[in-house]
Structure 1
């Protein structure tokens, strides 16, 4: 089997031997930026953007190709950003998800999923009621009269019935099994972790496998499934829309990817919302607004803080991106200026993942608008990160009192 191709988020392009079909698939799927190396036939230049994770590309008549993309932020910090975005009240602090044994993303993630599933199943598989409709030879539950007439033309047997079945084959267990199945398909999972994942799949054997490409079954957090919550959050990260799963003809892509742009945006907006929780103010994520009077130019700020009358009071945008050599992109300032102008606000806030540039404020000429650029250092501890978010919200609150 070909050795895995290891890339780093936002690093310079590197050259690798790849089948052409695999190179085209990686580029077309926007997994990495891929282009043929004109000087070396059979080689491709690959560079990772903001997606991190692992994918395997299977092409006809060739060995599978595995691409592993490491994030720039520490693995433990990525888990915190992810956990806080999904559920800030149960976010994974340092030490809650053990990643010390596995410094690379895929092994660490597979290890974390297995540990959380093991904890969730310590008291046995969760059971619940599942609505079932079937054709049977005995009456159970209620008869589906319209289906009975349509399918059996008045015959008494078989009978179309509907009933609630108390079973372990429920959405929560199906999601956990699907995440285990996904990870087991990926090379690069350490042998001991793979062995434990196989054990968890055996425990979840009665859960119906999910059909590839179909939406995840719905579940609702409750007191009854509380011990499953963290495991389900990790499983969702493996199975959500950012995961790579593609089968065009004989070519197959399988794996999971995190979009660091979206992960950072989700963390910032959720953290801002939590900071204002308990007040009369409400938070809006990605709410549509318009720049012009004719409502032809649409815009969607990441975060808008509204008062009791739902009037906008503050606006913020999260920007996880590489800096230009001279600092943050000017286009972000122009975008925030448009937000402030259209929403009638005197201040706007751009929140970046910190690189070389420090925080700054810019007063726009011939107007009263001030645009603040904040730099969050993702190498900090979770506590320090949330303290920095609190500093941003305090600056927002100060502006509200003016």
Structure 2
């Protein structure tokens, strides 16, 4: 009999007890999704670690649900990778579990991309031929066939489907299809889409993705490629101990939120004079022995004019903003000679502004409601960026 899935909320601090074999407990721990603590005998205590996602190891299913919801999680991931990512790139179907939601989104975008036919382009081919085609690769000819006239090492361009866009898409479809116990219809659609890309190279695991750029020619592929890159960056499906298969999609939400806020602020500030730096490096003291690194600093003529720091906190909705964050921002404002610092949170009540005693420094705590429509979230970021600059420039 298969055990019921372990389904935890991101904010859960108590965890659950589950009976597991040692090798399964070890494999689960290696994914980092939950903290796996021994609890006597074959019992283990599973507690969320601040990461979200889903893991399947043999017959064991563990899911930690993001407080933002799955669709919003995929939007944050996509936008952090590429600010061209749109909310529509994620399926509107409300899936309760991550694997079906991710599979459905990828399938729908891939079907739209491939509906008019498989995209083709010019690719360079290296071959040994009995005649000259394209350009002779003299270095390879002398190295591999010294003193031989035939065959000839050549390189030529061929119009084919084995291009970067199709390699990324097919590899993501294969990776998704390797997830165990997907709905039968989803698996059949993945297999069909994979067959449409017959002859396209599947990228080996843990290899860099080939580069591509959005253009008029690949426009219909863009949404599918953005989602495919999420799958390839965060999902793995590998053999585990014995005959087990380990499928994992694990995301560090603090890092995702920091990346999202950084990219969104950079986009919002792009129309203003100056430039925006992420992970800005400076020092608190005159001897330059105490480093500081705010998440986002906007500079004009190489001088900081606004500072922002992203804070993904897991306290409950009624929790107060942590004092330590205000101390940190006070240090940033003092070192950068700024009158206002912005702390951007993933949750909280209304924005608040606090003046630090005996200084002219204000610290603003600004919560983002990540459950809102993504367009509204980005509009809120725009207001933060504008107000951040207005506090110094006007």
Report the CA distance shift for 1:66/1:154 in structure 2 as closer, same or farther (over 3 A). Answer: farther
Aligned length: 390
Report the CA distance shift for 1:36/1:125 in structure 2 as closer, same or farther (over 3 A). Answer: same
Which residue number in structure 1 is paired with residue 345 of structure 2? Answer: 352
Query: Deviations along 1:227-246, whole A, 9 cap, x unmatched?
Result: 11110110111111x43466
Deviating more after overlay: 144-153 vs 2-11: 2-11
**1:314 touches 1:348 (CA, 8 Å); kept in 2?**
yes
SS of aligned partner of 1:169 = coil
**2:78 touches 2:226 (CA, 8 Å); kept in 1?**
yes
Q: What are the residue-to-residue correspondences of 1:3-402 with 2, within 5 Å?
A: 3-12=4-13, 13-38=15-40, 41-57=41-57, 63-93=58-88, 97-240=90-233, 242-244=234-236, 253-307=246-300, 309-323=301-315, 327-355=320-348, 357-402=349-394
Q: Distance in 2 between matches of 1:388 and 1:245?
A: 37
**1:244 touches 1:257 (CA, 8 Å); kept in 2?**
no
What TM-score do the two structures reach when normalised by structure 2?
Answer: 0.90
Report the CA distance shift for 1:340/1:186 in structure 2 as closer, same or farther (over 3 A). Answer: same
Structure 1 gap ranges (5+): 58-62
Deviating more after overlay: 152-161 vs 334-343: 334-343
Q: Distance in 1 between matches of 2:195 and 2:16?
A: 41
Q: Distance in 2 between matches of 1:224 and 1:45?
A: 52
Shift of 1:10: 2.8
Which residue number in structure 2 is paired with residue 60 of structure 1? Answer: none
What TM-score do the two structures reach when normalised by structure 1?
Answer: 0.88
Q: Distance in 2 between matches of 1:122 and 1:365?
A: 63
Q: Distance in 2 between matches of 1:334 and 1:31?
A: 31
Q: Distance in 2 between matches of 1:342 and 1:166?
A: 57
**2:31 touches 2:248 (CA, 8 Å); kept in 1?**
no
Q: Distance in 1 between matches of 2:6 and 2:63?
A: 6
Q: Distance in 1 between matches of 2:286 and 2:129?
A: 62
Shift of 1:219: 1.7
Q: Distance in 2 between matches of 1:86 and 1:137?
A: 45
Shift of 1:248: 7.6
Shift of 1:294: 4.2
Structure 2 gap ranges (5+): none
Shift of 1:14: 0.9
SS of aligned partner of 2:155 = strand
Query: Deviations along 1:50-98, whole A, 9 cap, x unmatched?
Result: 32222233xxxxx4533222211133323433343344445124xx633
Q: Distance in 2 between matches of 1:252 and 1:339?
A: 47
Instruction: Tell me the C-alpha RMSD between the 2 structures.
Output: 2.4
Shift of 1:128: 1.4
Shift of 1:127: 1.0
Q: Distance in 1 between matches of 2:255 and 2:181?
A: 25
Q: Distance in 2 between matches of 1:209 and 1:382?
A: 33
SS of aligned partner of 1:261 = helix
**2:75 touches 2:85 (CA, 8 Å); kept in 1?**
no
SS of aligned partner of 2:200 = coil
**2:36 touches 2:44 (CA, 8 Å); kept in 1?**
yes
**1:183 touches 1:255 (CA, 8 Å); kept in 2?**
no
